[in-house]
Structures are given as C-alpha cells and as structure tokens.
Amino acid sequence: MIPIVAVPPVPQKGFPSVTSTFLSVPLSLYVHWPWCVRKCPYCDFNSHESVPQEATYLDALIADLEAALPLIWGRPIISIFIGGGTPSLMSGATVDALLAALRMRLPLLPEAEITLEANPGTVEAARFAAYRDAGVNRLSLGIQSFADAKLAALGRIHSGDEAQRAIEIAQKHFERVNLDLMYALPEQTLPEAQRDLATAIATGVSHLSAYHLTLEPNTPFHHAPPPLPDDDLAADMQDMVEETLATAGYQHYETSAFAKPRQQCQHNLNYWGFGDYLGIGAGAHSKLSDHTGIRREARPRHPKDYLADPVTRQWQPVTTEDLPGEFMMNALRLTDGVPLAWFSERTGLPLSAIEKSALAGRQEGLLEVVDNRLRPTPQGRRFLNRLITLFLDA
C-alpha cells in the first residue's frame, strides 16, 4: 500500500477570514479516471490512451483521499462525480470497491448524488447494472451526436445505433440519465442539429448537456481545424437548442445544462454555487475552505506521475483580490444566479467587494437582483464573458 502523508492546512497571507462560515459550505467529491480507448481530436481533458491499471490506481485513489482527510474532516459529502477520461472502462467490481472505500472514510449523505460518466460502447453498456448495484445513481452518457458521419468527424468510436441502445440500457437501470450533446459540428447544418436534439428529447432522459463545439488549445482540432459552421449559423443552432428544449419541458438552468423539473445535477450546482470540492485522481483539482481561508490544489497530471506519488499536491491560496472574480465566474453561469448572501458566506468578504462591478453590470443591462438573488439578465447570459470580465478586472 502507498504510504500516507497528511497535508495540514497552513495559514497564508492574503486569505480572507472564513472562520464562521466554512463549515456551512457544501462539499462534493470528484474522482478522476484518466484513461480512454482513444482520445478525441477536440478533447483537452486529462485523458490518456493506455491500458488502465485498475487495482494500482484504486490503491492510489485511496491513499490520495486519506492524505486529504485532515482538510475535510467531519464534513458531509453531498455528491460524488466520477469523471474522465472514460470511467466506464472500469469494471463493476472496481467501482464497487471504490465506492465502498469512500463510504468507509467519508460521511456520505444518504441522498447523495453519485454520477459516473460513461461512453455508449457495447462493452461499457454491459456494465451499467453493476454500476447501479455498486451505488451509482446517476449516469452521464457522452453521446455528442446520433449521426454516424458526425461521430466519425469527432473521432468517436461508437455509432448512432450504439448510442440509442446504450440509452435504453441506462434507463433500465437508472432513473437519472444525462446525455452530452454537441452542436456546431464539422459541416453540420441546422436540420442536422435539430435531428440530433429531437432524437435526444424522444428518449425522455431527465437531463441534457448541450455544448457548442470549441477548438481548445493543444488539441488536434486546434492545430488543424475542421470546416465548422460560421458564427451566424452556430448562433442559430444555439437559439434552436434553447427554444426546442424549453418547449419540451427542460429548464435552461446553466449555460449548457437543461433539466426536467427537480432533475438538475447537484454536483455541478455545487461547483457553480462556489461550494467546496475535493478532487482525487490524476490531475484532479480541489477548492477547499477552512479556518485559514480558501485554497486550490492540483494533483500530478500524468497517470504515471500520480501513481508514483498520489499524496503530494501543489496548492495555493485564493487571495482576497481574486475571490470576487472566482465567485462570479461560477455563479453567473446559473440562469437563476445565486442568493446574495452566498457571496459573503462562501468568500468571507462583504458585498461591498463587488458593489462597483455589480453596478456596472446593472447599468449595461447584464445583471439584476431579483428576490435577493444576483443573476444575469437574458442579455447577460448572451454576453456572459463581458459580464464576468467586469468582476475579473475589478
């Protein structure tokens, strides 16, 4: 077993005082699985084409968690998200062992949301029942498109038919299923995007994540861009997605997230509400509050480095100067925004710290306060980067 090294919190200059508030900040757990069968050309996530080392990696995850326990001791876990990479490459036995290890070491709430990301390949779909039996209660399927030609253009290794079958199997075992879809795909037309969306809606899943394909730095698509729809067509697709899903009964509750009533992803809501999260696994990040302030951590990114030393992490404080921008960068992604009180409760700063920027946002028609909630206006959601910049540049 890998030796355990505790990392105690150390007070640092620049931390705001959150002594009276940090225990009320909700805490989630993120577990990163870094391997996939093949890395897609648009993907900038920390994923690697390799043969997974399940048993060794599970030991490393447990060592990582045990080293982090002094930072979160006694705090209940409201959600777990197992992401990647392709976590559905894990066997059911490994997921069961992982969740059992987490339950033994953490006060997991009985109603905690436990999500696992999965690809819709035949091998992965065969494991869905085992994941449910292990305790996973929400599955997120990386569909991206139902059109074989678009899937090939994206470098995906499943077909449209496999996607449909995987959704059917997932719905037999899970009440809560999310589908990830992309639009503005290479050479995609508006009718093609409409067909993808209509197919997704027809499945009746409770949650859809609809993303505009972007060319991220250091990806094959960035170095050799495929032919993409122009900005006007991409904007038409975005409008179509929002209008179609609203008509179908999905609430647009976050920039790219749509859910049936009471089916929002609780894990991601905690991120966007500036809650705390502990990340374990290769390249995982954490944001944690305690009596010394708020800190961010990062694990070694490459699986080989992480397996060699899973208990050492880089960390730095979130300073008073950076906190307003960090809070608003998350909170303003939410259509309904957040309670005004959360700013002080979750940063330790007075509302006066954002007063000037908030006033500028209201004067530009990008921000509003309704029922003691700070939220972007429809114009603010459309020009979100401009709105966030007001707080980053303050």
The pLDDT tens digits for 330-350 are 999 999 999 999 999 999 999
User: Spelled out in words, what is the top-level CATH class assigned to the domain 320-394?
Assistant: mainly alpha
Please write down the long-range contacts of 247-250, taking CB distance under 8 Å and 24 or more positions apart.
248/201, 250/208
Q: What is the pLDDT of residue 184?
A: 98
Residue pair 14/294 in contact by the 8 Å Cβ criterion: no
Average pLDDT over residues 288-301: 92
- Asked whether the predicted pLDDT for residue 314 surpasses 50, the reply is yes
Q: Which two tokens mark 207?
A: 């949650």
Residue pair 272/331 in contact by the 8 Å Cβ criterion: yes
Q: What is the pLDDT of residue 50?
A: 84
- Give the mean pLDDT of the chain: 92
Q: What is the pLDDT of residue 22?
A: 61
- Asked whether the predicted pLDDT for residue 15 surpasses 70, the reply is no
Q: What is the pLDDT of residue 6?
A: 32
Domains 22-270 and 320-394 share a fold: no
Local structure of 320: helix, strand or coil? coil
- Could you tell me which of 88, 163, 165 has the C-alpha nearest to residue 130? 88
DSSP result, 259-318: ESTT---HHHHHHHTT-EEEEESTT-EEEEEETTEEEEEE--SSHHHHHH-TT--EEEE-
Average pLDDT over residues 155-164: 95
Average pLDDT over residues 26-46: 95
Q: Could you tell me where the DSSP H helices lie in 73-211?
A: 92-105, 122-125, 128-134, 148-153, 160-173, 190-202
Contacts of 385 (CB under 8 A, 6+ apart): none
Average pLDDT over residues 308-313: 94
**pLDDT tens, residue by residue, 56-79:** 999 999 999 999 999 999 999 999
- The CATH architecture that domain 22-270 belongs to is Alpha-Beta Barrel (3.20)
- Could you tell me which of 195, 199, 214 has the C-alpha nearest to residue 256? 214
Q: What is the pTM of this model?
A: 0.93
- Asked whether the predicted pLDDT for residue 13 surpasses 50, the reply is no
Local structure of 92: helix, strand or coil? helix
Instruction: Map tokens 């043969």 to a residue.
Output: 51
- Asked whether the predicted pLDDT for residue 113 surpasses 80, the reply is yes
- Asked whether the predicted pLDDT for residue 11 surpasses 60, the reply is no
Local structure of 68: helix, strand or coil? helix
Contacts of 107 (CB under 8 A, 6+ apart): 74, 75, 76, 77
The whole-angstrom separation of Cα 181 and Cα 154 is 12
Average pLDDT over residues 34-49: 92
Question: Residue 172, class by beta-carbon neighbours within 10 Å (0-12 exposed, 13-18 middle, 19+ buried)?
Answer: exposed
Residue pair 33/83 in contact by the 8 Å Cβ criterion: yes
SS3 content of the chain, % helix, strand, coil (to 5): 40, 25, 35
- Is residue 291 very low, low, confident or very high in pLDDT (cuts 50, 70, 90)? confident
Q: What is the pLDDT of residue 181?
A: 98
Partner residues linked to 210 by β-bridges: 181
Instruction: Map tokens 């909170």 to a residue.
Output: 331
Task: Give the length of the chain.
Answer: 394
The whole-angstrom separation of Cα 130 and Cα 173 is 9
For a pLDDT cut of 70, what percent of the chain falls above it?
A: 94
The whole-angstrom separation of Cα 113 and Cα 335 is 22
Please state, in angstroms and as integers, the Cα–Cα distance from residue 76 to each residue in 27, 136, 382, following that order.
7, 18, 36
Domains of the chain, by residue range, sit at 22-270, 320-394
Q: What is the pLDDT of residue 176?
A: 98
- Asked whether the predicted pLDDT for residue 9 surpasses 60, the reply is no
Q: What is the pLDDT of residue 2?
A: 31
Instruction: Map tokens 């509750």 to a residue.
Output: 253
For a pLDDT cut of 90, what percent of the chain falls above it?
A: 89
